[in-house]
Homo-oligomer: A and B are copies of this chain.
Amino acid sequence: MFSGLSAFPLTPMRGDAPDSHRFIRLVERLADAGVQSIGALGSTGNYAYLTLEERLRMTRIAVDHAAGVPVMVSVGAVRTRDVLMLAEGAQRAGVRALLLAPVSYQPLTEDEVFGLYQTVAHHCDVPLCIYDNAATTHFTFTDALYQRLAQLPAVCSIKLPGSPLAAPAGRERVEKLRALLPSRIKLGVSGDMFAQAGLRAGCDVWYSVVGGLYPRLALRLLRGAREDGQQDADFLSDLEPLWTLFRGHGSLRVVAALAVFSGLLDEPPLPAPLKMLPAQEQQQIRALLPVLEAWEAA
């Protein structure tokens, strides 16, 4: 579950509701490409915008159409009660891991966040991945909290923010975490622009947004960064404009536009108040589309 490419698909929308038909196509596309796992209903999958019922329904669809590829699903919510309900439903649906971010409204204390993970760990039978993403949760994990959480036997991975994994400090950061945490805890890099650096620094898994739309492209990046140590320079430089767009506008809005422009989706999967990017950025994304599709098909 916690190695290689973990691909995070969009959750397509039709009007106000998730579009099951299109979601099945995205999940099948990932399974066909041979990703190591699927991270359904992550931030990229709009989990925070769907009702609990919609989330459980899409979870069942992901598991049923993943052709045996392990599925992890995000169960974050501002209330522990809702997290537990989602965790129970997701396990019944057959997920192989739960991804949990400390989603907040009132800023949370370290003790409250520990209590959340402790409660969920106590109630779940599948591995738990800590989702550290201060950009959406506004909670900052300390290494001391990582250590405390790693004592919960259910906790098996951390989805790390990518920036501290960038070269040249990345390797040192990974080594520090390895020294602090039991070997059971698999380290995952997120923030696709940091994937190459994070994987080279020794991360076990890449939690990937671009891999949710272009799994073959992402697998190429993974292989180049890790297995053979070789990376095509043209390939890397072709990805630079994508990372620039991710940095400027958030990966969700960019991947949503790519999915629409490529014809994979009819509508941008951006529940209001989220909006499509302005015309100028849309043009940049359209220009990038053939380049990405060529690498996906290569």
A81-B16, A271-B79 as given contacts; A48 in contact with B105, CB under 8 Å: yes
Return the contact of A138 from the options B49, B116, B138, B275 (Cβ within 8 A).
Answer: B138
A136 & B113 in contact (Cβ 8 Å cutoff)? no
B274 & A112 in contact (Cβ 8 Å cutoff)? yes
A107 & B273 in contact (Cβ 8 Å cutoff)? no
Q: Which of A238-273 contact B (CB under 8 A)?
A: 250, 252, 271-273
B112 & A273 in contact (Cβ 8 Å cutoff)? yes
Q: Does A80 contact B (CB under 8 A)?
A: yes
CB distance from A74 to the nearest CB of B (A): 11
Q: Does A43 contact B (CB under 8 A)?
A: yes
Q: Which of A193-252 contact B (CB under 8 A)?
A: 250, 252
Instruction: Kindly list chain B residues whose C-beta atoms are within 8 Å of the C-beta of A290.
Output: none
Total chain A interface residues with beta-carbon distance under 8 A: 32
Q: Does A109 contact B (CB under 8 A)?
A: yes
CB distance from A159 to the nearest CB of B (A): 16
A49-B78, A78-B49, A81-B16 as given contacts; A136 in contact with B272, CB under 8 Å: no
The 0/1 profile, CB within 8 Å of B marked 1, for residues 12-54 of chain A is 0000100000000000000000000000000100001100000
